[in-house]
Amino acid sequence: MKNYELRSDTFTKPAEAMRKAIYNAEVGDDVYAEDPSVNRLQDLSSEITGKEASLYVPSGSMANLIALYILGGRGNEVLMHEQAHTIHHEVGGAAAIAGCMPISVPGDRGVMKRSLMEPMVKKDDYDIAHTTLIEIENTHNFAGGTCWKKDDLKEVRSFADDNSLKIHMDGARLFNAVTATGMSAAEISSYTDSVTFCLSKGLGAPMGSMLCGDKEYIARAKVIRKMLGGGMRQAGIAAAAGIYALENNIFRLKEDHDNCRKLAETLNSLSWASVDLDKVETNIVFAYTEPGKAASINEKMAERGIRAIATASNEIRFVTSLMISAQEIDQVCEILKDL
């Protein structure tokens, strides 16, 4: 039976050309900053995000952790959206390792508005934790792959400046936001002090994320990466895949978005599912079922090769990526109609 991989864009596998780039990678000891491929990937990432410097780290979770460690600080509060990946899916590292208190802020489509953050900022008292940082997620995974628009970014920046707060952006899927909004990665990142993006999701590399910011911040980040056990040696083997991903796989993300929209429309036409089509902006779609039905529907889909994730008792998440072509999405839609 054919399998249709829609669980996550983390399931993407390196294609042949990427594997060739890996095979041919020039390497050195990256802890000594002597890996030419890592150095090139870092320079390329700084260029793309418009930041002074960048650091290659093993995962998105580690990039967020380093940002929280440095910009949040032990005992301080960090504002983030109530459905933030960092709160729910990074194993409590923010608290356990960075020592921060994540404060969850409600917000439509993963966007946090000034009016809701305002009462949560704490400053200047001896018996309260102080707020130091805002973490934004763009695109926002569990809000449905939604994007921060220019006005939202402007608002959060001016709010941060008014309150002397820094901004870290969890841009695990930054290039999906670029593709959907038409803003460049540098423009989006210009509203933030620190940004991370993943190479291992829609961009198709086997591993790795970039953390970008000013020189002083990235120099400190390199120390914290080593402390966390993330100093890698001949990492150019993996960085070469990252370079390949940035040079070749950004421009094809639109295909994933088109496939996702088609899937979302089909799901919404079925009797057992509903989708908020307005929220389908990139490569993620959440379908809602009757409460208690998501797991059994998911099993039925799996019997026909469709692999998705039941994220709640009434919710199934589908993510499109280079693992699934337009033709395969048509096949998935036919199976769904027949289910």
**Backbone dihedral angles phi then psi of residue 311, each to the nearest 5 degrees:** -90, -15
Least distance from ligand PLP to the Cβ atom of residue 65, Å: 9
Stretch that binds ligand PLP, among 16-24, 47-55, 58-66, 261-269 (CB under 6 A): 58-66
Is residue 280 within 8 A of residue 243, CB to CB? The reply is no
Hey, is 49 helix, strand or coil?
helix
**Backbone dihedral angles phi then psi of residue 279, each to the nearest 5 degrees:** -90, -5
Distance of CA 155 to the CA centre of its chain: 21
Helix then strand count (H, E) for the chain reads: 14, 12
Stretch that binds ligand PLP, among 41-49, 59-67, 74-82, 323-331 (CB under 6 A): 59-67
Per-residue binding string, ligand PLP, 140-179, x by CB under 6 A, is -x----------------------------x-x-------
Q: Which two tokens stand for residue 99?
A: 């020592």
H-type alpha helices, the chain: 16-23, 36-49, 60-67, 85-88, 93-96, 114-117, 150-162, 174-181, 185-189, 215-227, 236-248, 253-269, 294-303, 326-338
| Residue among 80, 57, 103 nearest 205 (CA) | 57
Q: Which is nearer to ligand PLP, 192 or 200 (CB)?
A: 200
Tell me which of 31, 40, 44, 59 binds ligand PLP, using CB under 6 A: 59
Angle CA(41)–CA(42)–CA(47) in degrees, nearest 5? 95
Tell me which of 85, 109, 157, 261 binds ligand PLP, using CB under 6 A: 85
Hey, is 183 helix, strand or coil?
coil
Tell me which of 37, 61, 76, 298 binds ligand PLP, using CB under 6 A: 61
Q: Which is nearer to ligand PLP, 46 or 141 (CB)?
A: 141
Q: Which is nearer to ligand PLP, 173 or 333 (CB)?
A: 173
How far is CA 281 from each of CA 158, 221, 319, rounded to the nearest angstrom? 25, 32, 12
For the segment 98-137, give every residue that binds ligand PLP (CB under 6 A): 137
Is residue 140 within 8 A of residue 283, CB to CB? The reply is no
The CB-nearest residue to ligand PLP is 60
Stretch that binds ligand PLP, among 54-62, 112-120, 149-157, 268-276 (CB under 6 A): 54-62
Least distance from ligand PLP to the Cβ atom of residue 232, Å: 14
Least distance from ligand PLP to the Cβ atom of residue 271, Å: 30
Tell me which of 87, 156, 198, 250 binds ligand PLP, using CB under 6 A: 198
Count, residues near ligand PLP per rule CB under 6 A = 12
**Backbone dihedral angles phi then psi of residue 193, each to the nearest 5 degrees:** -90, -30
Stretch that binds ligand PLP, among 19-27, 30-38, 56-64, 214-222 (CB under 6 A): 56-64
200 binds ligand PLP (CB under 6 A): yes
Tell me which of 14, 60, 107, 230 binds ligand PLP, using CB under 6 A: 60
Can you say whether residue 24 is alpha, beta or left, with left for phi > 0 and alpha for psi between -120 and 50 degrees? alpha
Least distance from ligand PLP to the Cβ atom of residue 79, Å: 16
Least distance from ligand PLP to the Cβ atom of residue 217, Å: 19
For the segment 4-43, give every residue that binds ligand PLP (CB under 6 A): 10
Residues of this chain that bind ligand PLP (CB under 6 A): 10, 59-61, 85, 137, 141, 170, 172, 198, 200, 209
